[in-house]
Amino acid sequence: AQKVTQAQTEISVVEKEDVTLDCVYETRDTTYYLFWYKQPPSGELVFLIRRNSFDEQNEISGRYSWNFQKSTSSFNFTITASQVVDSAVYFCALYQAEDTGRRALTFGSGTRLQVQP
Amino acid sequence: KAGVTQTPRYLIKTRGQQVTLSCSPISGHRSVSWYQQTPGQGLQFLFEYFSETQRNKGNFPGRFSGRQFSNSRSEMNVSTLELGDSALYLCASSLGGLAGTEAFFGQGTRLTVV
């Protein structure tokens, strides 16, 4: 069965600090997709990134970067020089593509990030 | 372009009643998925509709049902409400399903069952 673990329940940092959010996943499929979403207090989930299981290249987008390592089944998310606006709950999610009956996002429990000014 | 619209934003219902939630996807998107978010269980997949057909279903009782109309708008219905159904219900739309495209979420409907 698929599973996503975000062991960090809550992280508090001071503005301008770097912070890494951990995500470990479990799946038997060879084809799958990994996602990160941000949920601000308003409630909607904001898409941040999608990676497929065949592309282990790390990605950088502005202050955000992602480290995908299949060997350790991890897909970690780093925010460089954090800002107060980064305060939110961040979810890592897994999407299995091989079984049409199981195609859905499996979410981790989320990490609440608080960035103090 | 307009985002995903969920109505109503807030709802209070009594145990035993039924409720219908609505989701209007982004124009051109044919896939609509529903998720339930609770403090205890987190985000859980309810079902996905594509071109008016239910394509996937999560592990929820039959009291939870949905449908999709020809304009891709979707409704979710919960009958015989229980206290445990209190949650934020999120709807996501995507072009053709999650694998090849990103999903856009609405702000959700917060349902409180008293």
Query: Rounded to whole angstroms, how far apart are CA atoms A56 and A109?
Result: 24
Q: Which residue of B has its CA nearest to A105?
A: B45
pLDDT at B49: 92
How many Å from the N-terminal Cα to the C-terminal Cα in chain B? 37
pLDDT at B82: 97
Q: H-helix or E-strand containing A31?
A: none
Q: Which residue of B has its CA nearest to A111?
A: B42
Write the residue in B35, B88, B104 that is nearest to A47 by C-beta: B104
At A30, the pLDDT band (50, 70, 90 cuts) reads confident
Instruction: Quote the minimal CA–CA distance from B17 to chain A in Å.
Output: 25
Per-residue pLDDT tens over the stretch A42-81? 888 999 998 989 988 888 889 999 999 999 999 999 999 9
Q: Return the number of CB contacts < 8 Å for A and B.
A: 61
Write the residue in A97, A104, A108 that is nearest to B33 by C-beta: A104
At B18, the pLDDT band (50, 70, 90 cuts) reads very high
pLDDT at B106 over 80: yes
Residues of chain A with Cβ-Cβ distance to B45 below 8 Å are 104-106
> Which residues have CB under 8 Å from B79's CB, separation 6+?
B18, B63, B65
- Are B48 and A103 within 8 A, CB to CB? yes
pLDDT at A96: 79
Per-residue pLDDT tens over the stretch B21-73? 999 999 999 999 999 999 999 999 999 999 999 988 889 999 999 999 999 99
At A11, the pLDDT band (50, 70, 90 cuts) reads very high
pLDDT at A48: 93
State the CB neighbour count (10 A cutoff) for residue A47.
Answer: 16
Torsions phi, psi for A94 (to 5 deg):
-120, 140
At A97, the pLDDT band (50, 70, 90 cuts) reads confident
Q: Which residue of A has its CA nearest to B35?
A: A105
**Residue, of B100 and B103, whose pLDDT is higher:** B103
Residue B43 CA, chain-centre distance (Å), reads 12
Per-residue b or e along A75-112, where b marks 16 or more CB atoms closer than 10 Å to that residue's CB = bbbbbeebeeebbbbbbbbbbbbeeeebbbbbbbbbbe
pLDDT at B100: 56
